[in-house]
Amino acid sequence: MIFRNLVFASVLVGLISGVVLALVQQVAVTPTIIAAEQFEVAQEAPVVAAPVIHEQSAHTHDAHASADHHGHEDSLLAPLNENTHHEKPTAQSNNHGGMDHHHDPDAWAPQDGAERLFYTSISNVLAGMGFGLLILAAMTYHGKANIKIGALWGAAGYLTFFVAPTLGLHPEIPGMEAANLQGRQGWWLTTVTLTAAGLGLIAFAHISLKLAGLVLLVIPHMLGAPLPELMEGASAFSHPDPQAVSALEALAADFLQATAFANAIFWLVLGLSCGYIINKFGIIKAAQESAKN
């Protein structure tokens, strides 16, 4: 009964937070992605050249996440926080000195507009359900929950799955060079794990262990995130037009701010929803009564 209620509650909080995130992304994030894609499409028109074998890879973003190009809006979750983004199909697949830059002409991608919003919403809802289940389970285990506590859990999720990884790996817009995919995924997972453990020690452990929590928070950033190998002073964008590079760099800054805002809204709504719904369903009370029997 308790597990069923937890799952049902996670579905509700996932629906609420996922739909809110999709709407925020539609207004604040998607326009930046579409603007960047226009430069990339112009840059990567088919070129007649001698056959060359190219290594294929993919950009990533997120907490919430996936490695293929199926919507840069999912950077939340990174992101599912590897950094993911959408790219229009083109005729090239490039690898520059270990930097990933993937374009699969056969890859499916949702059309801009309603279709893109629909698939983004589905992805966000599923991510919200997963993260919501984690928060609800943690609240049940600790035996305390209300809207204020829910907001604190949401803040912890935001720090763990977005802020900490973003300090090393910024959200990427189309056309941006990136380091090796496996390296970024490994660093992202390490950062999320150590950040969660560090925050847990700071919040719940004996005072003698709180310093260890701070050390865990710092370790991944001392190791450093994998970054693309660029020449000194070179831009992260390989577009041949200097004006386009300047425009893309401005869009990248806007995208960082937009994704930070969207993720903050997502985690706030997720935490508040968890704090409200877990009490509405009486999950903690039921778990405590079950433990006595």
Packing angle of the helix pair 30-43, 242-280 (nearest 10 deg): 150
Residue 290 corresponds to which tokens in the numbers above?
């079950």
pLDDT band of residue 47 (cuts 50, 70, 90) is very low
Q: Give yes or no for residue 169 having a pLDDT over 90.
A: yes
Rounded Cα distance, 22 and 84, in Å? 15
Mean pLDDT computed over 71-96: 41
Residues 6 or more apart whose CB falls under 8 angstroms from that of 52 comprise: none
pLDDT number for residue 117: 85
Residue type, 249: E
pLDDT of residue 173: 85
Which pLDDT score, from 0 to 100, does residue 160 have? 98
> Does the structure show a pLDDT above 90 at 135?
yes
In the predicted structure, residue 58 carries a pLDDT above the cut 60: no
Q: Are 187 and 168 in contact (CB under 8 A)?
A: yes
What average pLDDT score do residues 58-78 get?
Answer: 41
CB 76 within 8 A of CB 263: yes
pLDDT of residue 40: 67
pLDDT score for 237? 78
**pLDDT, position 70:** 40
Q: State pLDDT tens for residues 4-23.
A: 999 999 999 999 999 999 99
| Residue 124 clears pLDDT 90, i.e. is over it | yes
Question: What is the distance in angstroms between the CA of the first residue and the CA of the last residue of the chain?
Answer: 14
Residue-wise pLDDT for 191-241, tens only, equals: 999 999 999 999 999 998 999 999 999 999 999 999 887 656 567 777 778
